[in-house]
Amino acid sequence: MCTEPSAFGAVSSFEEDAFPFAKRLFATVESIDAVEKPNPRTDGLLPFVIKRLKHWQPEIEKSGHKIRFAVARGPLNVASFLMGTSEFLMALKTDSARMHRFLTVITDFLVEWLAWQRECFPSIDGILVLDDLMGFIGKDDFVEFGLPCLKRVFAADVSVKFFHNDAPAKVCAPFLFEAGINLFNFGFQHTLNEMKEWTGGGITLLGNLPPRDVLARSTPEQVREETIILLNHLKDRSRIILSCGGGMPPGAPTKNIAAFINTVEEFTT
């Protein structure tokens, strides 16, 4: 949450019982004119992220894994942290030229940040970009502001181009293939059948069990039941990776995760 905003100078807040949060940096729309593109090699928390990965890389590889993804928050998401969500969304309508310049600086930075991660870890062959703000805007604004940013970010020469947006995604879904995305994780408010239709079947979908109310709060038996319903409703099982719709919820019991995995394996093998 804080990594990319911290490079611009946003204060990072780490509370005991809440997710980390980057505090708003710019008090007015006009003040963003002073924004400068950060250096991903030296600024904010970014060097600490790289050092932490390098520190644990031997253990990661000893356990049979590798660092496979370069990860970043998306352009609109970073902009909303720096300006405030409401202020940013309003400015898209009231000061579009300034927002285009602002998003260009942010996108330039994100392209460099993702490239730097790949340079540090040659095992990376995928990028993961998370941007829920893409689901906060209408079609016209997505095409004008969101799509050009996504095209630039996902132009990286990697095999897996993974996008996360678990806000409403019906507006952006038809444009994701055009943006270069080939793997999409979305919210549980949309079904896998709907998303396959909206994306034209050209993108692998990751989902779509409700994360909080089913995976975290149900019993293993209920998780199994909901997973069977999910599988039985699928019209086309191709290009689907079954998971939860959005992020893994805090406190999800291991027994529930195991019930989900076991049920999927039982019905797909």
Mean pLDDT throughout 155-173? 97
- pLDDT band at 38; cut points 50, 70, 90: very high
So what's the architecture of 3-181 in CATH? Alpha-Beta Barrel (3.20)
Res 269 pLDDT > 80: no
Q: What is the 3-state secondary structure (H, E, C) of the chain?
A: CCHHHHHHCCCEECCCCCCCEECCCCCCCHHHHHCCCCCCCCCCCHHHHHHHHHHHHHHHHHCCCCCCEEEEECHHHHHHHHHCHHHHHHHHHHCHHHHHHHHHHHHHHHHHHHHHHHHHCCCCCEEEEECHHHHCCCHHHHHHHHHHHHHHHCCCCCCEEEEEECCCCCCCHHHCCCCCCCEEEECCCCCHHHHHHHCCCCCEEEEEECHHHHHHCCCHHHHHHHHHHHHHCCCCCCCEEEEECCCCCCCCCHHHHHHHHHHHHHHHC
Mean pLDDT throughout 83-104? 97
Amino acid 110: pLDDT: 98
Res 247 pLDDT > 90: no
Can you give the residue ranges of every domain in the chain? 3-181, 206-269
Q: pTM to 2 decimals?
A: 0.95
Mean pLDDT throughout 160-164? 98
- Looking at every residue in the chain, the average pLDDT score rounds to 96
Q: Which tens digit of pLDDT belongs to each residue from 166-187?
A: 999 999 999 999 999 999 999 9
